[in-house]
Amino acid sequence: MFDIQEIRSQFSILDREVNGKPLVYLDNAATSQKPNSVLEVCHAYYTELNANVHRGIHTLSQLATEEMELSRRKIQKFINAEHDFEVIFTKGTTEGLNLIAYILTQKLQKDDEIIISYLEHHSNIVPWQMLCERTGAKLRVIPIDENGILQLDYLDQFLSEKTKVVSVNQVSNALGIVNPIEEIIAKTRKNSDAYIVIDGAQSAPHFNIDVQKMDCDFFVFSGHKMYAPMGTGVLYGKREILEALPPFHGGGEMIATCSFEGTTYAGLPFKYEAGTPNVGGNIALGAAVDFMQKVGHQNIQNHENALLEYAQRQLLELEGIKIYGEKAHRTGVVSFNLEGIGISSDVGMILDKMGIAVRTGHHCTQPIMNFFNIAGTVRASFAVYNTFEEIDALVEGVKKAQRMLS
């Protein structure tokens, strides 16, 4: 049974008011709220277990280590990785993508090529530009059409023996468009030996992820977008690839032996987890996985898709609404503007006065905004705890914004 009120009761923050109005939180693509079960795990770690991991023989250290490694195994099952040591804890998607771009430096040379798409977040653009600067490689970009849909004929043209990396997101954060990554991966495997990187920041909160079936080389996502604390995330990489590539950071935990004459590196996953990890956050990430699995991936997806369909239908009944990616396959996001109102933040501020939290601006996707010749959009994004009544409140807020700003 899917009981929306029971789910909402697990999120204490949803009971608060903003500007004297009940909070309507529709900024989930930026960060989701956290259920009490996740917050309780964080509190329990710092009040009952607080100790460093993998380094102490005392009881607290052993217990903390056991809890963090249990979380790693939960995440392994969550994404269906073959081995738990293929799950690397990070600060989030951005760190994961930068890590990959750094450790691939020695694998690229002048005139090699990296393929990304027009729909990428800046964190899946800038690290590859920096890699090109280091190596002399070139960046190629799969274009989109007027509906925001990737033009994969260009991928066919781009792929060659020069292609060393193909990195795309599974879901666009700005538009909510679901990209055909199965087709992208199949084309890449057929026509090159490139490393395949999938940005799952916006898909892991919504979809059932199976990295083995997907057959990507790397998959990255953030905890804070899927009901876990900020500063948590995961990099998945195939065992044979991670073992063959160099470390990212140097320091404690990632060494096997260290002397002034030289250092040898630890095995996976510790080779890529230098320094003290976010132990409490990593344990809580496992609790967030527990929450999502208890609700059920299919229930989450069905509810969020129903919210998206309802929101789009209600908004399009208003005059002067432009929804970007309207005709594309999307999930969890409706990104729109009001005709004749050039600054999306003005709409966002009016909605905020009504207790409605949305995101405005370019959403760290300036190339998308440039393509549509706009400065930004109003983005409402949904999570499992959102309701149809909140969509109604959003629509009423947009009507008020139209009256005030037109």
Catalytic residues: 364
Q: Is 230 exposed, middle or buried (0-12, 13-18, 19+ CB in 10 A)?
A: middle
Assess contact for 223 and 194: CB atoms under 8 A: no
3-state SS track over the chain: CCCHHHHHCCCHHHHCEECCEECEECECCCCCCCCHHHHHHHHHHHHHHCCCCCCCCCHHHHHHHHHHHHHHHHHHHHHCCCCHHHEEEECCHHHHHHHHHHHCHHHCCCCCEEEEECCCCHHHCHHHHHHHHHHCCEEEEECECCCCCECHHHHHHHCCCCEEEEEEECECCCCCEECCHHHHHHHHHHHCCCEEEEECCCCCCCCCCCHHHHCCCEEEEECCCCCCCCCCEEEEECHHHHHHCCCCCCCCCCEEEEECCEEEECCCCHHHCCCCCCHHHHHHHHHHHHHHHHHCHHHHHHHHHHHHHHHHHHHHCCCCEEECCCCCCECCEEEEEECCCCCHHHHHHHHHHCCEECEEECCCCHHHHHHCCCCCEEEEECCCCCCHHHHHHHHHHHHHHHHHHC
Using the Cα atoms of residue 143, residue 146, residue 149 and residue 153 in order, give the sign of their dihedral.
negative
Rounded to whole angstroms, how far apart are CA atoms 381 and 173? 9
Q: What is d(CA 162, CA 192) in angstroms, rounded to the nearest whole number?
A: 8
